A and B are shown apart, each in its own frame.
Chain A
Amino acid sequence: MRKYWEMAKSQIQLDTAYTAWYWARSASIIMRMLIIYAFWHAVYENRTTISDMPLDTMITYIVLATLLGNYVSGVGGQLANQVRDGSVAIELMRPYNLLDKLVALDLGSKISGTIRETFPLLLVAFLFLHINSPTSWLSLLLFIISALLGIFIGTQLDLIIGILAFWLHYVWGLRVLRDAILAFFSGVLVPITMFPSWLQMVSNFLPFQSMVYVPVAIYTGQIEGIAALQAIAIQLVWLVVIIVGIRLAWSFAIRKVTIFGG
């Protein structure tokens, strides 16, 4: 465990070195928030609620979803690169589990991202976009638990990209595809409640809404009480299913390396 924590720490240090990317990312998130603010104000011009959500709730939802949406990606791309250039073979000889190592590095990135990006941006959102505080302390607590689960689900699921790289080698397209699916079905663009009912049904059977929609809806009060606990339980189930599934696929993929030599 300790070595993975050390890896995470090294990643935090590494991240602080890339200041150019830090400013670029922050700038583009602020721009996105500006668009969100202007766009939704225009949408609400002639009405007070959409899907039972007033404007301030909607903006709170979209801003939080945008910020949380930054966490659902992971290190699948990095794994894919290692698979492509063959360095995965060397990694496999090292005394650690490669998947866990990558997840640890990702955790490091996310910790430094939270401190350096998310908190300041959240402050900006509170001050200038006037987003709502959580409805109660309990909902804040549930939000944090649910958000963590969502992030874990996203991180694990992302590894699929890397595993697929054993068979496909133009991984960029796959990542774009993943981003699109995630943006839509995770609920980053609009709350799932705005979907037509048949699409909500579909979404209920997918793991994606567990990543962003569920935690943020708990924060804004769309999901409350027993429903919130239920939603968190479903998140847990997804997390377990995905972790097991990924490990199985991984051991299958590794066999391919050891048999064909990469």
Chain B
Amino acid sequence: MRRYSKLYWQYFKARIKVMMEYRVDFLIGVMSVLFVQGTSILFIALVFHNVDTIHGWTFYQLLFIFAVAMLGRSLEHTFFDNLWTLGWQYIRPGNFDRLLVRPVNPLFQIIAERVQQDGVGSFLVGIIVLFTAIPHLELHWGIAEVMLLIVMIISSAAIFLAVNLFFATLSFWMVDSLPVMYAVQGMNDFARYPMQIYGKGVRFVLTWIIPYGFTAFYPAALFLDGSGFRSIGIWTPVVAIVTLSIALLFWKRGLRSFVSTGN
């Protein structure tokens, strides 16, 4: 563990140096994500410009859900973005072999080989949105609540990671699972809105199959009075641990199959 954190730091330093090679790009990256996230907030603002509540939810409550989603996603995006490239950057061109002949866990190497600067942009927007929403929500913020929120955000990031890792792992069998990852990722937009607005089928999928509901709505609802979802929200960290374990086991299976069939 100690060795791996030290090693991660070395990778991280190298990544920072790459970023500094391309400062303008770094700025464009951060700005662009700021803008993308900004538009989704603007969208909500525009809708609330015309109506007062959506299915009983106020603008600021919705912003709070958005903030949790953004923060969780941005953590995952910043540190685990390289999983997206497993198929076309590692397995297809044979670079995965290069990782396997080193005395370090290959999953670690893939993750460490990239830090996605753009995530910083969405993290910033998430923070801004969070602090815009909180004063309007009449919540009591003690140390316990702050800690709980942090745990929820980390759990949200872990669920994003788990889902991505699971579908990235398919690349071991189908060379590049990028389209599948892309399609699945599209589902996380559902999670930013109150789950009551969806039909039973969608709710079931987002809760039990691909638990994106736990990346934003359920954990956020935990803090919002009278939402009726508190008892579900509290399970978020458990869901995170379970999904991540499943994804890691699946990864191990994929790796074993890759090593026995070659490519």
Contact between A and B in the complex (any CB pair below 8 Å): yes
Residue positions of A touching B, CB distance < 8 A: 20-21, 23-25, 27-28, 31-32, 34-35, 38-39, 41-43, 45-47, 50-51, 168-170, 172-174, 176-177, 179-181, 183-184, 189-190, 194-196
- A180 engages B32 (CB within 8 Å): yes
* A contact residues around B35 at 8 Å (CB): 177, 180-181
Task: Tell whether A177 pairs with B186 under 8 Å between CB atoms, given A21-B179, A43-B47, A190-B46.
Answer: no
Interface string of B169-195 (1 = CB under 8 A from A): 000001000011011011101100110
- A173 engages B29 (CB within 8 Å): yes
Provide a sorted-by-A list of 29 A–B residue pairs whose CB atoms are within 8 angstroms.
Answer: A20-B174, A23-B179, A25-B182, A27-B186, A28-B185, A31-B186, A31-B189, A32-B186, A34-B190, A34-B202, A35-B189, A35-B193, A38-B202, A39-B193, A39-B197, A42-B55, A43-B51, A43-B54, A45-B55, A46-B53, A170-B22, A170-B25, A173-B25, A174-B28, A176-B36, A177-B28, A179-B36, A180-B36, A184-B39
- A168 engages B31 (CB within 8 Å): no
B112 adjacent to chain A (CB < 8 Å): no
- A38 engages B199 (CB within 8 Å): yes
- B54 engages A28 (CB within 8 Å): no
- Nearest A residue to B37 via CB reads A180
B6 adjacent to chain A (CB < 8 Å): no
Q: Which of B24, B31, B179, B182 contacts A177 (CB 8 A)?
A: B31
Q: How many A-B residue pairs have CB under 8 A?
A: 111
- Nearest A residue to B118 via CB reads A173
- Nearest A residue to B177 via CB reads A20
Question: For the complex, what is the distance from the CA of A180 to the CA of B42, rounded to whole Å?
Answer: 11
* B contact residues around A32 at 8 Å (CB): 186, 189
Prevailing SS type, chain A contact patch: helix
- Nearest A residue to B48 via CB reads A43
Residue of B32, B35, B36, B182 with most partner-chain A CB within 10 A: B32
The 8 closest A-B pairs by CB, nearest first: A170-B25, A28-B186, A24-B179, A177-B32, A173-B29, A173-B28, A24-B183, A42-B197
Closest CB in chain A relative to B180 CB, distance in Å: 6
Question: For the complex, what is the distance from the CA of A21 to the CA of B177, rounded to whole Å?
Answer: 10
Task: Tell whether A31 pairs with B190 under 8 Å between CB atoms, given A43-B51, A180-B35, A190-B43.
Answer: yes
Question: For the complex, what is the distance from the CA of A179 to the CA of B182, rounded to whole Å?
Answer: 16
- Nearest A residue to B174 via CB reads A20
* A contact residues around B55 at 8 Å (CB): 42, 45
* A contact residues around B24 at 8 Å (CB): 168, 170
Residue of A21, A24, A25, A45 with most partner-chain B CB within 10 A: A24
Closest CB in chain A relative to B122 CB, distance in Å: 11
Closest CB in chain A relative to B194 CB, distance in Å: 8
**Residues 39-94 of B contacting A (Cβ, < 8 Å):** 39, 42-43, 46-47, 49-51, 53-55
Question: For the complex, what is the distance from the CA of A45 to the CA of B52, rounded to whole Å?
Answer: 11
- Nearest B residue to A176 via CB reads B32
Interface string of B206-237 (1 = CB under 8 A from A): 00000000000000000000000000000000
Closest CB in chain B relative to A176 CB, distance in Å: 4
Question: For the complex, what is the distance from the CA of A146 to the CA of B22, rounded to whole Å?
Answer: 41
- B25 engages A180 (CB within 8 Å): no
* A contact residues around B42 at 8 Å (CB): 184
Closest CB in chain B relative to A81 CB, distance in Å: 13
Q: Which of A28, A45, A173 contacts B32 (CB 8 A)?
A: A173
- A172 engages B29 (CB within 8 Å): yes
